[in-house]
Structure formats: C-alpha cells, structure tokens
Structure 1
Amino acid sequence: MHKMKQQLQRERNRLLYAIDRLLDGPMIFLGFVWLVLLIVDLIWGLSKTLDYISITIWILFIIDFIVKFILAPAKLDYVRKNWLTAISLIIPALRVFRIFRFLRVLRSLRGLRLVRIVSSLNRSMKSLSATMKRRAFGYVVLLSLVVTFTGAAGMYAIEQPAPGFDSYGMALWWTAMRVTTAGSEYSPTTPEGRGLAFLITLFGFAIFGYVTATLATFFIGRDAEEKNAPVAGASDVAELRKEIALLTRTINEMKDKLA
C-alpha cells in the first residue's frame, strides 16, 4: 500500500512537471500581457475588448492554478508557495461579478488595488525569472523597469490628484526616483500609497546594493587583469599554481634521489 502511494506521488510529480514545461512558455507570455493590461487599467481603464481579453487570461490562469493544485502531492505546501498568485486570481472576480453592489464597493477600495498590484508584480517576477534564468544582471534590469512602470501606475491610480501624482508622467518620475534611492519632494497621502511607496523603496535599496556589488566586482576584475595591478587576477593565480606544482615536483624528485 505504501509503495503504491509513493508510485502514485511519483506519477503525479512527473505529470505536473510535464504540464509545467508544456505551459511554461504560454503562461510567461500571458503573464506579461496581464501586467500590461493592469498598467493600462490603472492609468486609463480598459475598453470592452481589452476587458474581455483580461477576463480570458484570468480564466486561463485559474485553470492552470487548479490543475497544478490537483496534481500537487503536497497541496498545503503548494498553496503556501503560491498564495500571492491565488490572491491575484481572486481579486479580478470583483471585475466580473459587478451585479452585486457590495462587490462594486469593495472594488473601489484602494487597498484592493494595492493587493492587486503586488500580486500581479509577483507573477511578473516569476515570469521574468523563468525567462532570464541565469542572466542575473539582465533580470535585475528588466525587473527594475517592470517595478518602475507598474509601481508608477499604482501610485497614480491610488494617489491622484495629489501633487506629484496628478499625471502618470509625474508618478513615473517619482517612482523612478524612489527605485534609484534619489528620493523626491512629494510624498503619498493615503495609507495604501504609503504602503506601496514603502515596498518600492525596499526594492530600490535591494537593487542598489546588488548593482553596486556587481559594478565593484566588474571593476575589480578589470583591474586584476592588468599586470601592475595591486589585486591578483585569475591569470596571476593560475601562474602561481603552476609555480607551486613545479616546486612540489622538484622537492619530490630531490627526496627520491636522497632516498
């Protein structure tokens, strides 16, 4: 019985892996389209056609999530790892079931916009990570652009018409300054706006540290390539290893002769 259960789990894992590989490309593409539609919705609102496209993508995401949830051997662990994804799939229901007045009221709350922005950004981060794979620096640059443009749309939707956020261009400038840790003279006035600004600032500090370390590593590596550099480069280390190996061989040969 125990062996049959283990065999069933292995089969589920294989099927889940196969489905994940099959749907990986389409889901990544739809994730980027979903993010673009979110930005358009926050800034200008969606037309009927774009709204239908958004709902269709949302339904496809739900199907993908349900199938993977059913196949996942440890369902609780799967939900824990994808709780933000689950939230991002629940919130668009407020757009679909507009016939209920209380849902329309909930949909107007800024807090839901903040949750929607964060959860959608989480999905986009996963899509970017799957696309870029080992290109770490390229991933960070693209992710910074995604966070800047999406964060600006969120700040504009939440804070307008407050000074500094009365247009998307101004919100984009403010967000870019936050991401680069330069700061701005304007500050958000709503609790949701402050929460989003705090997340953007945290991201900016993290990225600033990563970029600084990457640039330092690059320049140290360039400096180490020069012969007169104070820092030992890879070629110097390789040459030193050769000399140590030669010295060790010579000592061993002398020992053999003396023996």
Structure 2
Amino acid sequence: MKPTESPHLALRRSLDMLTLAGGIVLLIALSWEIISGDHIRFSRWYMTVQLIVCVLFLLDFFVRWASAEQKGRFFIRNILFFLISIPYLNIFGWTGMPRHLAMLIGIIPLARAFLALYLIVQWLVDNKIKRLFTAYVFTVCLFTYISALVFYDYEVLVNAKLHGFGNALWWAWMNVTTVGAEIFPVTAIGKTICVLLPILGMMMFPIFTTYILSVYQKPEKKA
C-alpha cells in the first residue's frame, strides 16, 4: 500500500485484482471445457470452478457494500454486479437443465469479470496509450473469442463444415471484420452470433480509424 493510499482504496484495489484473476481463471476453464468437452454435459470440475469464482464475485460485492458509506445507494447503483455474480449455471445445473440452454447462462459471470478489465486499461493509459484504443482492442478481441467459443459449442455436433475450434475462431474473426466465411451456422444461437459479430465490427472499426487519424494529425498540428 502506498503511503498516501487509504485502507479502503487499498482494499478495493486488492478486490479488483482478485476479481480480475477469478475472471481469467473462469475464461480459461470455460475454454478448456468447450474445446475438450463432450458438448453434451458440463464436467464436475468446471461446475466447481464456476461456483468458486461466482462466490468470489459475490464476496467482492458484499465486502464493498459493507464498507460503503451510503449502503442503500451503493446497492442500487451496483445491483447489476450482484445479479451477474450469481452462480446461475450451478443453480440450474442442480435442476437438470440441458447444456444447450445452460451454456448461455454459464457465460453471464464473465461479464462481471470483464468489468474488472478497466484495471489493465488504466495501467495502459498510465503508460501513455489512449484509453479509447485500448478499450477497442479489449472489446473486439474478447467478444470475438467468446463468440467463437459459444459458436463452436453449439455448432460442432451439427455443422458438417466446422472442423475444430480453429475453424470457429477463424469464422468469428472473418465475421467481425465483415468479410464473411464459408462456414454457415445451422443453429439459432449460431445464426444470432453471425448477425452480432458484423454489427460489432461495423461499430468498432470506425473507432480504430478515428484513432489512427488522430495520432497522425497531432504531429501535423504541432508542426
């Protein structure tokens, strides 16, 4: 802890780092589960990881709530953090929900983890890298990768043109760049992702172009 740093600020930083670490663990576990799993049911070890990480997220929320000066206002303003930290996959898994329905529920806690990525963004900003460009890179890369995971999980057993996760990752990047691919989705989830990826690309690539132009225009203005 820095000499000028308050105990509450130090606690928040520690919780942020734990949350970020939990999110990374959850993403790695999800990747392994999808790429090497049977795509029929979730393994016990993955369900355990999901539960532990969600409990960590909930602990983070309640510790922050307990240390807040205005607890009612904090709860209202941060209720989304609470809702996306609940281990829905484990709850519905106990009820016997089919995997094809539970998969989308299972990725909800990842949204809580990615909210902690602002720590990395802040570190990059401190090193004189533009916040907008950094947020762009993280958003596009993470959304594309997760889309490839979900697409692969839903399509691999029913799509004859999909051979391995590498094909799914290539398909996702071709769609986010609006180029398109020869692999066509056959499931409802796959078709939905196929629509969302180009929309993300059309929204985000102009930001990239604007950033590049602003970088080159600054030296000209100084001259």
Matches of 2:172 and 2:198, distance apart in 1: 9
Instruction: Please identify the structure whose Cα radius of gyration is greater.
Output: 1
In the alignment, what sits opposite 2:61?
A: 65
Matches of 2:103 and 2:8, distance apart in 1: 32
Asked if structure 1 preserves the Cα contact closer than 8 Å seen for 2:176 and 2:200, the reply is: yes
CA RMSD between the two structures: 2.9
The match for 2:154 among 152, 158, 173 is 158
In the alignment, what sits opposite 2:3?
A: none
Matches of 1:192 and 1:16, distance apart in 2: 43
The match for 1:108 among 99, 102, 120 is 99
Matches of 1:40 and 1:30, distance apart in 2: 15
Name the SS of the counterpart of 2:72 in structure 1: coil
Asked if structure 1 preserves the Cα contact closer than 8 Å seen for 2:155 and 2:190, the reply is: yes
TM-score (normalised: structure 2)? 0.74
In the alignment, what sits opposite 1:234?
A: 222
Measured at CA, do residues 200 and 69 of structure 1 come closer, stay the same or move farther in structure 2, by a change above 3 Å? farther
Structure 1 unaligned runs (5+)?
Answer: 1-13, 225-232, 236-259
Matches of 1:197 and 1:65, distance apart in 2: 34
Matches of 1:144 and 1:53, distance apart in 2: 26
In the alignment, what sits opposite 1:252?
A: none
What is the Cα deviation at residue 168 of structure 1?
A: 0.8
What is the Cα deviation at residue 15 of structure 1?
A: 8.8
Which amino acid counterpart does residue 234 of structure 1 have in structure 2? K
What is the Cα deviation at residue 160 of structure 1?
A: 1.9
Matches of 1:120 and 1:194, distance apart in 2: 23
What is the Cα deviation at residue 52 of structure 1?
A: 3.5
Which amino acid counterpart does residue 108 of structure 1 have in structure 2? R
Which amino acid counterpart does residue 99 of structure 2 have in structure 1? S
Matches of 1:193 and 1:48, distance apart in 2: 26
Asked if structure 1 preserves the Cα contact closer than 8 Å seen for 2:148 and 2:169, the reply is: yes
Measured at CA, do residues 160 and 69 of structure 1 come closer, stay the same or move farther in structure 2, by a change above 3 Å? farther
Measured at CA, do residues 187 and 69 of structure 1 come closer, stay the same or move farther in structure 2, by a change above 3 Å? farther
Measured at CA, do residues 215 and 54 of structure 1 come closer, stay the same or move farther in structure 2, by a change above 3 Å? same
What is the identity percentage for the equivalent residue pairs of Structure 1 and Structure 2?
23
Single out whichever of 197-206 and 41-50 deviates more from structure 2. 41-50
Within the alignment, does 1:34 sit opposite 2:23 as a pair? no
In the alignment, what sits opposite 1:215?
A: 212
TM-score (normalised: structure 1)? 0.65
Matches of 2:113 and 2:162, distance apart in 1: 24
Within the alignment, does 1:89 sit opposite 2:86 as a pair? yes
Which amino acid counterpart does residue 30 of structure 2 have in structure 1? L
Structure 2 unaligned runs (5+)?
Answer: 1-5
Measured at CA, do residues 123 and 218 of structure 1 come closer, stay the same or move farther in structure 2, by a change above 3 Å? same
What is the Cα deviation at residue 184 of structure 1?
A: 1.8
Matches of 1:124 and 1:144, distance apart in 2: 16
Single out whichever of 210-219 and 149-158 deviates more from structure 2. 210-219
Name the SS of the counterpart of 1:109 in structure 2: helix
